[in-house]
Chain A
């Protein structure tokens, strides 16, 4: 028999042990953990997407086709670099060396001596003034007129692809979170039904002394709210630890050039303070799901019994 007292010194009207067992806390904690992991992953994907888009949209690349001798291509690339440097709204222009261009394709072709023999286009990286961006269409037209073998790439296709891929991943993450929230609601409804069944006598006595359904529901809701907070904290702390150790583990396990590229693509797996703050939000969401579901679940059950 539970003799536990509340902080006010009064025994809880419904004993906690009869409402929520340890198994329920663990099930909800696992849900909270998975929910937090998914929320963190969605946050990091979004973070990565924003970083990528901000990088990509502030830069354009001019590609100089390798037509003619090396010397000719080199001269042309320098002329284009000078031309671009003179343009308004251009912050910085950098002509990539042949070695730098070769390095960019190295992850796909490997370190082979034949790279030096390949007709690799010369690339010019142009940093734009994001506050006063140039008119890319007219810049492209001018460039094509003046230098027919040069092509301007504003990375629009790449941006769209990033948006599409990250948007799909975020939607998938949100769908998974919704599914987990629905599963949590189902678990709580079922637990509320069992709690009422195992506390039938208490519910009857409360009815006899004139308690309204909302009062009775509140007695159960308080226990479920506590379960939600406990389970949410366990889940969020677990997920927080995963996110904290993830970059350390990937640093230890990685090192190859391809790993660097992949990390550049999907991010480092490092979560910032806002990310950890979003895990706190998960605790609030889990606690709210437990509390609201039990409130409405218990009231519905009592209402059906009292009709």
Chain B
């Protein structure tokens, strides 16, 4: 599903933020991605999400070398990936419901096809009462949950989450983790970038540990 081969990344002429990163992610796997601040977690997620290209080595996503992919091919690959950003990236002029439904709308589905799924998912993440609210009036935790719902609504083959439980209480964090585990059971590969060791202890999954741009895998 994902294969990185001696992949390196640097911004401009600066030092490499990722060095010789190699790993192979199988379909249906679950990984935590961890490391200290500035270790390169977000950069690695951006490469996996194809918003950055490696400056050396190769990155294969769903078997496609993304360094050579055209914008159309990248868009097509991104439809198979869900991503949760640290800063949520919700659109302020749309309601929570519309934000969550956005990927399906972009994929050309009719509202009648997805309306029930969106409502059900929003209720599941505890936003049933807030589905018609706009993001500026949501709390940090509510925005986080809306962002997660948007990432998973399209039942992606790969879910990438950058600190998905950073803004929620422990109870909601456990609930969201259960959502990720459930998705994983249904076949979605999951990579969760997190600092939250308590969260990592709740589910026995391999850890990808980044240290000064180098990657180690702890099973």
Contacts and interface: CB of A to CB of B under 8 A. Distances in A.
Q: Which of A8, A202, A303 has the most B CB atoms < 10 Å from its CB?
A: A202
B98 A207 contact: no
A1 interface: yes
Contact of B89 (A3, A208, A212): A208
Interface string A235-271: 0000000000000000000000000000000000000
A10 B74 contact: no
Interface string A4-28: 0000111101010000000000000
A131 interface: no
Contact of B93 (A15, A208, A302, A306): A15
Given A10-B105, A213-B75, A215-B106, A208 B51 contact: yes
Given A1-B136, A10-B105, A201-B89, A208 B94 contact: no
Interface residues of A, number: 26
B76 interface: yes
Contacts of A210: 75-76, 78-81, 103, 106-107
28 contacts: A1-B92, A1-B93, A1-B134, A1-B136, A3-B93, A3-B134, A8-B111, A10-B98, A10-B105, A10-B111, A11-B93, A13-B91, A13-B94, A13-B102, A202-B91, A204-B89, A205-B89, A205-B91, A208-B51, A208-B83, A210-B78, A210-B80, A210-B106, A212-B75, A212-B76, A213-B72, A213-B75, A306-B74
Interface of A: 1-3, 8-11, 13, 15, 201-202, 204-213, 215, 302-303, 306-307
Interface of B: 49, 51, 71-72, 74-76, 78-81, 83, 85, 89, 91-95, 98, 102-103, 105-107, 111, 134, 136, 150, 154
